Structure 1
């Protein structure tokens, strides 16, 4: 039996024992002040686990402490992905690590030698940060599994001839050369996730680390952060007309043929599910529902008025490719929220935070 298989079975045994002993396991979450990271910390604490939450700025975590309600089961660590050894203390004694932290750079405007700038200032640091964390995990002999948060931006529904695939699964990765040449909206983020994940799996294989990757689609629903998450801004861009995030929504639609969504609670449950399942291996798409742009507009309009003429419908009137979550479902995962609930809760939370005008819900388009 390989070390990795032995570790996988050992983790499962520990999880089963932890269930009987009030969840005595400890997990580290990187990027704990972000959208997914903050909710994941909350979810783990609610299950009774011990949590090590890493942040670059501890002051940003102060507002979340009352929401997390971790009491003596939560420790917050200051850590920077660009500093060698910065995560050593945070992962020390942890049974598993959730690597959620990521740069949210979507594009670079006004830079000369743009490709060199992106490589040196965004891509190289992103890869270095991922490897710094995995090196810390390798040094911490207690870590049995790392769950890496990837992105649906690494997936395409088009084949090499630009025709729609009938089924899109974890193997349908975007080609790096294609991203560099096309530079569609959000291309810098796409490259960052593609290259970081590739480097993570290479390092994990070379150093006998049990690494599992989860591929979220557009994450939405309520949020704990004081700022509006980028994925929520992308989803609501047909309402807001945001000039930065609106083109990203269409770039996603052009690459996948639809907008695929997952609720924040479901994506965090999926993270924990993949940490707990001994049989988990490789990459897993996490997608609850997909809809074409016209259907998305209809759902948004039910919750908040919008100018549907802003949305240019694609030639196809139905979802051309199924964004398959079969691999995750076959492992036993079940989704809790559907399309309508995701959009309703997203709009509700944004109204509560003042991002959307509450008077606009029954009024004219702002």
Structure 2
């Protein structure tokens, strides 16, 4: 793409979400007009923080009602926009009965519906898709199938299914569909952002994420007896948001971009937080044997023995060189974790529990 209209409005789907809130903030602060889609524009808990940001920023916020499951629902919001950032997607790891209806259908059909609106809108030049490293791999053990023992943008998740890691499967299928739709036409192009586990402060307590649940478990005593040796990639939500803007307004941006500031195990995260918060919370101090996690893990939450075998004790590695070349500058992982944990405390989600036992 040689010419790019940076003055046209930008559509952000799922604007009340964790990542999307920061995207909207940065766009408004940069002076853009933002067409923000939410399920209910009249719900204060979803949009009040966005409206407050807009009141202090030079940009303009316009709210639109849209539903991932309704074809044509995004037509009005997309109309006149030069860029569409599609962040809306279900993030559900447990508590559902049917993975197909809870995860796969809204992720895939929602992507089809948003891109259908893009196809019908002649002004759109680029789509930025919020995907995930879950579209690149399903289990840490998948790293054994990579050429150099590191996950890159060249890999695709082929190990997940509706019965094993269904959330990861939904992200992979949604991104596959997006690329298929993109490649079937030539008017607009697409860039996908594939972040690792996203941590960092939220703009509203109403926006929950899987990462905050991880921090709460580390600090509230549920894991005081120990944690599995489970490693994961970590990236700050603000860096993810900035990457979306770079992907949107850098004409040469193309393809997929892994976002990862570093990898940490659960114990490394707990140790880092303990050092910052003076042992005032019940952080775990040891790792549990894999055999013990395999035996008792499935009894304590939505984890299977297959997941334990393919993830615990298998460290992931990521190549983030493409994102750095795009211009992403990563925050320190320990700072990200501390600021996210501190927000949880301020929001009343976590209270000091006394010093952890040695």
For Structure 1 versus Structure 2, the TM-score category normalised by the shorter chain is: 0.7 to 0.9
- Distance, in Å, in 2 between the alignment partners of 1:321 and 1:133 is 32
Asked if residue 213 in structure 1 is aligned to residue 201 in structure 2, the reply is no
Q: Which residue does 1:67 correspond to in 2?
A: 53
Alignment of 1:120-199 (within 5 A): 120-156=101-137, 157-159=140-142, 166-175=149-158, 178-180=159-161, 183=164, 187-199=165-177
Alignment of 1:15-94 (within 5 A): 15=6, 24-58=7-41, 59=43, 60-69=46-55, 70=57, 73-94=60-81
- Distance, in Å, in 2 between the alignment partners of 1:91 and 1:338 is 35
Q: Which residue does 1:345 correspond to in 2?
A: 339
Unaligned residue ranges in structure 1 (runs of 5+): 1-7, 16-23, 112-116, 244-248
CA spacing shift, 1:163–1:200, aligned 2, 3 Å: closer
Q: Which residue does 2:2 correspond to in 1?
A: 9
Match of 1:328 among 318, 323, 326: 323
Per-residue displacement from partner, 1:47-99 (whole Å, max 9, x unpaired)?
A: 11111110001112134311343577110111111111111110111110110
2:29 and 2:58 in contact (8 A); partners too: no
Q: Measure how far apart 1:303 and its partner are.
A: 3.2
Q: Greater shift after overlay, 266-275 or 300-309?
A: 300-309
CA spacing shift, 1:92–1:41, aligned 2, 3 Å: same
- Distance, in Å, in 2 between the alignment partners of 1:314 and 1:237 is 19
1:107 and 1:189 in contact (8 A); partners too: no
- Distance, in Å, in 1 between the alignment partners of 2:54 and 2:286 is 39
Per-residue displacement from partner, 1:276-302 (whole Å, max 9, x unpaired)?
A: 111111111011121233322211222
Q: Measure how far apart 1:321 and its partner are.
A: 4.3
RMSD: 2.9
Per-residue displacement from partner, 1:96-121 (whole Å, max 9, x unpaired)?
A: 01100110121355x4xxxxx32245
Asked if residue 308 in structure 1 is aligned to residue 284 in structure 2, the reply is yes
Q: Greater shift after overlay, 76-85 or 122-131?
A: 122-131
Per-residue displacement from partner, 1:213-253 (whole Å, max 9, x unpaired)?
A: 0001111111112333332222443223669xxxxx96xx7
- Distance, in Å, in 2 between the alignment partners of 1:180 and 1:137 is 29
Unaligned residue ranges in structure 2 (runs of 5+): 292-310
CA spacing shift, 1:344–1:273, aligned 2, 3 Å: same
Q: Measure how far apart 1:348 and its partner are.
A: 1.3
State the SS of the aligned residue for 2:183.
helix
Q: Between Structure 1 and Structure 2, which shows a larger proportion of helix residues?
A: 1
Per-residue displacement from partner, 1:170-218 (whole Å, max 9, x unpaired)?
A: 123221xx323862xxx22112111111111101111223111000111
Q: Measure how far apart 1:344 and its partner are.
A: 1.3
Q: Measure how far apart 1:328 and its partner are.
A: 1.3
TM-score (norm 2): 0.81
Q: Which residue does 1:223 correspond to in 2?
A: 202
